[in-house]
Amino acid sequence: MAENYQHIQTAHCENGVVTGLLKHQGLDFMTEPLAFGLGSGLFYIHIPFLKVSGGPAISFRTVPGAIFKRTCKALQIEVVRKKFSNELLAQQFLDEKIAQGIPVGCQVGVFHLSYFPKEYRFHFNAHNIIVYGKENDTYNISDPVMETVTTLTIEELKRVRFAQGVLAPKGHLYYPKSIENFDKKLIQRGIVKGIKRTVNDMLHIPAPIVGISGIRFTANKVKKLRAKLGIKQGGLFLGQIVRMQEEIGTGGGGFRFLYAAFLEEAAEYLQDDRLIPISEQITKAGDLWRSSAVQMAGIYKGRITEQKDFDDAANMLYEIAEVEKTAFKQLEKLKFNS
Amino acid sequence: MEKKDIPQDTSPLKNMTREVYYVKNSDGKYETGLSAGWVVKNEALENAWEDINEQVRAAKQAVLTGEKSPIYYYFVLQLMDYNVLSGYTGFWKFSIKKHMTSKGFKKLSDQKIEIYAKVFNITVDELKNFNH
């Protein structure tokens, strides 16, 4: 058992697992915004034709697993990852690592996650937790979105590690190998690389549903909602946007505040104050996302239902797209000397 | 968002945890704060659940009229999609669709009924004798 494992609470689960596991390996400087920035976590995509619980499939972050992978790569840390076809082997491998005192990241489904409230238990399979100990039939769990550590029985853990459906975890576990002689220059280099990748993701992916164009794509849909789906279904659509944006783990404002916090840290690491006003603009984008959520809530609770109200919601999204476009263009122009 | 503006509305998370927010402190620097919940988000979640509950009621009605089998009801009740149910049962999507009609359901072997009951975490009796 990794008795000295220090639980840390973060906004987002994957950031939390990265931060927690790397800190445990001696990288004391790790923070959640840094992991999020190194891993280019910020994103926007609106997948058309795909429905998630009656609403649009929208994501404000990059694909599950990418943050861990990219952050470790940037810091040149070797990673062990495994998936299993057999539940028993999955448990044996985990037990072995815990017995060696290695805390391990596990991908789990939340539908059967016993400590989650019922209202949040959907068949979502990309939640991440750290397993750091085992006493008799109970595992010690550090779930980064929780204020304190918790436990799961052998049965409970098995169930969530082998949840079924889209992104089924198949017992997926991962941990960084022990780190020797860490070179601090890698942080600066990683930050620059992470920023460039996010700029590219937000500005230059040639698909009308990704990044800034993706936000506009959603705005166009919002404008037509009332005529196309009616007030009730349109409201559900808007509710889904808000849920994705403010879901547990975004740090508020669809991860925008988290990214602004990263840019603030980046300014410190790179000794580059030019990043501060850009961080401010991303903060503004986060605030605007929050205001748009308030507007959308007015619609889905039936307080405001006119076409004008849908137009207002759409216009707020167009404004967000403008603010983010300006911010990322400025970020793109910066030349870093490292 | 500033630290003083972190919403503290009662939410379904109340017995589980508070959430981390990234907010500006009085020096204009980022730090974290904890939120009990936000009414805007609660309402979106409530709305989604109202919609789910409506679908469950409709599913129940469809079983009672003989249009659908109890498998369909539990599928809706437990928020599943075909990927999920196919993953847990090992049955193909097109077989599951057949099992969801009352005609297809009547032809199911006891062994398959047992598999479904186990996945839905109910007894064979509850699945066979729909009583809701």
- Per-residue pLDDT tens digits for A129-151: 999 999 999 999 999 999 999 99
- Would you state the pLDDT for residue A53? 67
Contacts of B1 in chain A (CB under 8 A): 252-253, 257, 283, 286-287, 290
Across the interface, whether the CB atoms of B13 and A117 are under 8 A apart is answered yes
Residues A148, A47 share a domain: no
Q: Where are the domains of chain B?
A: 3-37, 51-128
Any A CB within 8 A of B81 CB? yes
Q: What is the mean pLDDT of residues B74-98?
A: 97
B22/A33 touch (CB, cutoff 8 Å), yes or no: yes
Check CB contact under 8 Å for B83 and A261: no
- On whether both A229 and A209 belong to a single domain, the answer is yes
Determine, yes or no, domain membership for A4: no
User: Is A208 in the same domain as A146?
Assistant: no
Query: What pLDDT, on a 0 to 100 scale, did the predictor assign at position A55?
Result: 79
Rounded average pLDDT over A56-74: 94
- Average confidence score pLDDT of chain A: 95
**Is the minimum CB–CB distance between B32 and chain A shorter than 8 Å?**
yes
Tell me the pLDDT tens digit for each residue of A109-122: 999 999 999 999 99
Distance CA A46, CA A272 (A): 33
Is the Cβ pair B30, A248 closer than 8 Å? no
Task: Answer yes or no: do A226 and A304 share one domain.
Answer: yes
The topology under which CATH files domain B51-128 is 434 Repressor (Amino-terminal Domain) (1.10.260)
pLDDT of B3 above 70: yes
> What is the number of structural domains in chain A?
2
Helices (H), chain A: 13-24, 32-38, 66-74, 87-99, 154-161, 185-203, 211-246, 256-270, 275-300, 307-333
CB pair distance less than 8 Å for B12 and A253: no
Check whether A252 has a pLDDT greater than 90. Answer: no
**Residue A170, domain CATH:** 3.90.70.10
Domain that holds residue A162: 85-176
Contacts of A43 by beta carbon, 8 Å cutoff, 6+ apart: A59, A60, A61, A62, A198, A201, A202, A210, A211
Shortest Cα–Cα distance, B106 to chain A (Å): 26
The reply to whether B118 touches chain A by the CB within 8 Å rule is no
Same domain? For A285 and A165 the reply is no
What residues of A are in contact with residue B29 (Cβ under 8 Å)?
A: 264
Residues A196 and A289 in one domain: yes
Mind listing the pLDDT tens digit for each residue in A192-230? Answer: 999 999 999 999 999 999 999 999 999 999 999 999 999
**Same domain (yes/no): A63, A132:** no
Same domain, A109 and A136: yes
Q: How many CB atoms neighbour CB A274 within 10 A?
A: 14
Residue B45: its chain A contacts at CB < 8 A? 119-120, 239, 243
The tally of CA atoms less than 13 A away on the side-chain side of residue B83 is 10
Nearest CA in chain A to B28: A280
C-alpha distance from A100 to closest chain B C-alpha (Å)? 30
- What is the residue whose two structure tokens read 């049962």? B89
**pLDDT band for position A338 (50/70/90)?**
low
- Let me know if residue A258 belongs to a domain: yes
- Contact assignment for A297 to B40 by CB distance below 8 Å: yes
Query: What pLDDT, on a 0 to 100 scale, did the predictor assign at position B42?
Result: 94
**A225 and A335 belong to one structural domain:** yes
Check whether residue A240 and residue A126 sit in a common domain.
no
Residues A287, A187 share a domain:
yes
In the block, tokens 């040639």 appear at A206
Together in a domain, A172 and A183: no
Determine the Cα–Cα distance for residues B57 and B76; give it in Å rounded to an integer: 10
Is A2 part of any domain? no
Interface test with B, best of A7, A8, A9 (most B CBs within 10 A): A9
